Structure 1
Amino acid sequence: MEARDLRVSDAEREHVGRLLQRAVGQGMLSLGEFTERMDTALAAKTRGELNAVLVDLPGMQMDPAYTNVAHPSVVPAPPSGVPSPPGAVVGTPTVATPPVGVPAAGGHPTQQPLVIRGRMSTITRKGRWHVPPALILDTRVGSSTLDFTEAVMQSQVVHLTIDDYCGSVTLVLPPEATADLNDVDSVGGSVSNKVRTGPPYGPLHLVVRGRVRFGSITARYPFGTTLRRMLGS
């Protein structure tokens, strides 16, 4: 049997997912491309199928010589007491986080995205949670609420990529914030934007892209915001 026909494990799929995140951080992939390739990686059954998402990414190809998916700098663990070669990663590699706050060409964020993943579960982010310039929400059959009203932002503009199936996503924005949901594809679902659109001028401008299948995405202000505006408070 050829190496490309060997079956892959969940650990190998997760490792390839980390390599794809690293590629986003280095500007080699857009967030949309990351979402498409992550879908392919999660569905891959063989090493050949998994390698297909990495073949055009320099330095991130799978190495068929290893039992697990390996980065080219991965080497077998040395005997006890023998130091590893400089720069080599022993065993399953960890992906270094790219520099924070370094903009790429075109103004897109280069920081590694924060990935929030859920399967048949309820996800809530609220209070003073830290929000990087890029987020990825990957959910299946569940309910997700991302409340940005008290969140600690690293940038005024936040890029959110959503890949949802049979779920509901609620985005709660602080007053005066704006959102752009025009790049969300909906299949048998709904996308509802109840906040201001337009150029970023408030505390947050949320740029949402991705897809929702048989689910819903709603962007809104906190309950009572409209009434307080009418009363002038």
Structure 2
Amino acid sequence: MEARDLRVSDAERDHVGELLQRAVGQGMLSLGEFTERMDTVLAAKTRGELNAVLVDLPGMQIDPAYVTGVHPPVPHPPAPHAAGVPAAPGPAMPPAMGGYPAQQPLVIRGRMSTVTRKGRWHVPPALTLDTRMGSTTLDFTEAVMQTQVVHLTVDDACGSVTLVLPEEATADLNDIDTVGGSVSNKVRTGPPYGPLHLVVRGRVRFGSITARYPFGTALRRMLG
């Protein structure tokens, strides 16, 4: 069987989708062409069908690891307490605040799905949102916070992200890069900062991100 006839995985489809997004950013594809090719990618069953959306894009090709079927091993850091071996440094984290130690960020992932966090869910000082072609809602109104300042890193493509904050909370969405997307901040930015201050950074491609208060907040304020 030829390589072009081999079946493809979701990881390969995601990889080609990222190549198409890069082509849009470089001006090689219009938004309409991107949408058409993404439809082909999502329906592709073989590597030949995936390659068809890249053949006319110079410099865009599937990672050789996928073509050969041999993926490079993922390096594992040494055990932190191994004799004579220092622990490998982890990803950069915001400094600990409020007496709480720094933690690894919580990673929330979604692919073509609806992701919701609401109620009394625990929010660490740092979160990472990694989503594609879906709808995500993070509701902080009843969440259990460890720190006043929460750092959220967003990497979203072709989706919508909604951040619902408590009435006195503030948010900073000024460090988000967009490609064919939109950013809407409907909450106070501070200073002074609220009991929760959400700092959002990252990128949104052909999608949207909105920070807002719960519905009815403006009416309750008018009524005192």
What TM-score results when the alignment is normalised by the length of structure 1? 0.57
Paired with 1:157 and 1:133, the residues of 2 have a C-alpha distance of 7
Deviation at 1:96, TM superposition (A): 11
Secondary structure of 1:182's counterpart equals: strand
State the Cα distance separating 1:45 from its structure 2 match.
Answer: 5.3
2:187 to 183, 187, 195: 195
Structure 2: runs of 5 or more not aligned: 1-10, 12-61, 67-71
Distance, in Å, in 1 between the alignment partners of 2:134 and 2:191 is 32
For residues 73-92 of structure 1, give each alpha carbon's deviation from its aligned partner in whole angstroms, at most 9, with x where no partner exists. 38xxxxxxxxxxx838xxxx
Q: Does 1:103 align with 2:108?
A: no
Q: In the TM superposition, what whole-angstrom CA distance separates every residue of 1:35-82 from its partner, at most 9, and x where no partner exists?
A: xxxxxxxx86549xxxxxxxxxxxxxxxxxxx84343638xxxxxxxx
Asked if 1:181 is matched to 2:186, the reply is no
Asked if 1:205 corresponds to 2:201, the answer is no
Report the counterpart of residue 23 of structure 2 in structure 1: none
Say which SS state the counterpart of residue 207 (structure 1) adopts: strand
2:110 equivalent to 1:137: no
1:87 aligns with 2:87: no
- In 2, Cα distance between equivalents of 1:69 and 1:187: 30
**Structure 1 residue aligned with 2:117:** 125
Whole-Å separation in 2 of the counterparts to 1:103 and 1:131: 14
Distance 1:71 1:196, change over 3 A: same
Q: SS of the residue aligned with 1:158?
A: strand
Aligned to 1:69: 74
Is 1:161 matched up with 2:153? yes
Displacement, 1:157? 0.2
TM-score (norm 2): 0.59
Secondary structure of residue in 2 paired with 1:116: strand
Q: 1:70 to 1:166 in 2, by over 3 A?
A: closer
Question: What secondary structure does 1:228 align onto?
Answer: helix
Count of residues in Structure 1 that have an aligned counterpart in Structure 2: 150
Uncovered stretches (5+) of structure 1, i.e. residues with no partner: 1-9, 11-42, 48-66, 75-85, 89-94
* Structure-2 change in CA distance of 1:150 and 1:44 (3 Å): farther
The sequence identity of aligned pairs, in percent, is 78
Q: C-alpha distance in 2, partners of 1:208/1:188?
A: 18
1:115 paired to 2:107 = yes
Cα separation, partners in 2 of 1:226 and 1:97, compared to 1, 3 Å? same
CA RMSD of aligned residues (A): 3.1
Compute the displacement of 1:110 (Å): 3.7
Show the 5 A alignment for 1:20-99: 46=65, 68-71=73-76, 73=78, 87=82
